Amino acid sequence: MDLLRDLDSGELYLGEVNPRLSGASPMTNLTTEAYADMPLFLFHLLEYMDVEYELDIEEINGRWERGYGEDEVWGQLIISETSQDVELFTATPRTGVWRLDSDGRVSFARQGNDWATLLDESEAFYMRVAAPGDLRCEGAQLGVLVTRGHLQTDDYQLTERCRRWVQGIKAQFASTPLAPATPIVSRLVARA
């Protein structure tokens, strides 16, 4: 969110809301657009403007469930780097449809930008965030993966299929350690 402050009056104005910071991820954007609902970031605006509003959560959930169908389940992962090493990416997986085989190996299947075309749970749409030349460091977002089916168990643990997707996508990344900086030796000598 960008806020603008009028230096003369001290007034504060909303400049921009970035959907990535508002909780409006790709899947939630699709849902709100598909059912002509209000985009999630607008709720942030309402809160910022101190506007009173009421929501019928059961009605919203019911409408969204009817839209997808009771037996149609989608899962989404935000994949982040967990290593504490700081390196430079030399290769990263590209955006498109990827396939997970029965041995747990992940391979690029085809170009695409619409996960509605996924055939079954063996396919996923991957949206690249980190690109070659970016820094690999702990917490850096690598990409977003959307697939059919659950990615968590009922007790909120990652499913085996989810773990295979993460491991397989992460295997597509390559990086090189950063070259150490050359120490600068001062030629100045302090004199007493």
Residues 14 and 64 in one domain: yes
Residues 11 and 78 in one domain: no
83 vs 56, higher pLDDT: 83
Residues 114 and 139 in one domain: yes
> Within a domain: residue 80?
yes
The confidence score (pLDDT) of residue 133 equals 93
**Which class for 96: exposed (0-12), middle (13-18), buried (19 or more C-beta within 10 A)?**
middle
Residues 60 and 123 in one domain: no
> Within a domain: residue 187?
no
Sequence-ordered alpha helix ranges (H) in the chain: 26-34, 41-48, 57-68, 160-170
The confidence score (pLDDT) of residue 42 equals 76
Q: Is the confidence at residue 41, as pLDDT, over 80?
A: no
pLDDT tens for 126-176 read: 999 999 999 999 999 999 999 999 999 989 899 999 999 999 999 999 999
> Within a domain: residue 184?
no
Residues 47 and 88 in one domain: no
> Within a domain: residue 192?
no
How many domains are contained in the chain? 2
Q: Which domain holds residue 130?
A: 73-177
Helices 26-34, 57-68: crossing angle, 10 deg rounding: 90
Residues 99 and 39 in one domain: no
Please answer whether residues 122 and 101 qualify as being in contact, where contact means their C-beta atoms are separated by less than 8 angstroms: yes
The confidence score (pLDDT) of residue 82 equals 94
> Within a domain: residue 169?
yes
Confidence of residue 37 (pLDDT cuts 50, 70, 90): low
pLDDT tens for 1-30 read: 667 788 889 888 776 655 554 344 555 455
> Within a domain: residue 136?
yes
> Within a domain: residue 28?
yes
pLDDT tens for 73-109 read: 888 999 999 999 999 999 999 999 999 999 989 999 9
Residues 168 and 82 in one domain: yes
183 vs 33, higher pLDDT: 183
Residue 168: name the closest of 101, 106, 95 by CA: 106
Most confident of 4-8, 60-64, 182-186: 4-8
Cα radius of gyration rounded to whole Å, the chain: 22
The confidence score (pLDDT) of residue 18 equals 57
Q: How high is the mean pLDDT of the chain?
A: 81
CA distances from 15 to 45, 130, 186 (A): 11, 27, 46
Mean pLDDT of 57-64: 76
